[in-house]
Amino acid sequence: MSILVNKDTKVIVQGITGSAGSYHTQKMVEYGTKIVGGITPGRSGIKIHSVPIFDTISEAIRNTDANVSVIFVPPAFASDAIMEAVDEEIDLVICITEGIPVLDMVKVKRYLEGKKTILIGPNCPGVITPEECKIGIMPGYIHKKGHVGVISRSGTLTYEAVYQLSQVGIGQSTVIGI
């Protein structure tokens, strides 16, 4: 039984045209994740990895019914990207960006109070439900479908724990890197 994401999850990528956003979008698409849109202001109308680009998160959600956003925007703009997603009442925001100023994240934490959106991150590797949906930067090939949930604060230790579980035949239901 998975939590947070599954094969039906529809994902938008904030910052899809940057190098990290573009690279990891391709990896998520290859894994089978339903990437339904990307957001980069001023780039609406183009496609990257067959994913349509929108100017705003509002436009992306209106056109795709996305329920999760993954954020790959530069640190100076990440808190605004998170709050824009929260304003759209998206279910889950996964912020991969590292180096966001602490006071910006304090503002985000307060902004989230009483809202329905769940935030994972920032500076996290993401969330994966093996063989269904990978959102973030985790290496998909080490994960095996199963019944054990994994939550970790360290990306590298997450990968090591998952790899060792998979090697002894213990699959994972969902892996969350916080």
- CATH code of the domain covering residue 147: 3.40.50.720
Cα–Cα distance for residue pair 178/169, rounded to 1 Å: 24
The answer to whether residue 77 is domain-embedded is: yes
Quote the pLDDT of residue 1.
80
Give long-range contacts, CB 8 A cutoff, 24+ apart: 49-58: 49/22, 49/25, 51/13, 51/16, 51/25, 53/16, 53/17, 54/12, 56/84, 57/12, 57/14, 57/81, 57/84, 57/85, 57/88, 57/90, 58/84, 58/88
Starting at the edge strand that comes first in sequence, how are the strands of the sheet with 10-14 ordered? 47-48, 51-54, 34-39, 10-14, 68-71, 92-95, 118-120
Instruction: For the chain, give the number of residues.
Output: 178
The answer to whether residue 108 is domain-embedded is: yes
Q: pLDDT truncated to tens, each residue of the chain (178 aa)?
A: 899 999 999 999 999 999 999 999 999 999 999 999 999 999 999 999 999 999 999 999 999 999 999 999 999 999 999 999 999 999 999 999 999 999 999 999 999 999 999 999 999 999 999 999 999 999 999 999 999 999 999 999 999 999 999 999 999 999 999 9
- Nearest CA to 136 out of 52, 86, 71 is that of 71
Question: How many other C-beta atoms lie within 10 A of the C-beta of residue 166?
Answer: 18
The answer to whether residue 134 is domain-embedded is: yes
Cα–Cα distance for residue pair 105/2, rounded to 1 Å: 28
Question: Which tens digits make up the pLDDT trace of 124-169?
Answer: 999 999 999 999 999 999 999 999 999 999 999 999 999 999 999 9
The answer to whether residue 154 is domain-embedded is: yes
The average confidence (pLDDT) of the chain is 97
Q: How many domains does the chain have?
A: 1
**Alpha helices, DSSP H only, in the chain?**
19-31, 57-64, 75-87, 102-112, 155-167
The answer to whether residue 5 is domain-embedded is: no
Domain carrying residue 80: 10-177
The answer to whether residue 3 is domain-embedded is: no
The CA-atom distances, in angstroms, between 122 and each of 78, 132, 141 are 9, 23, 23
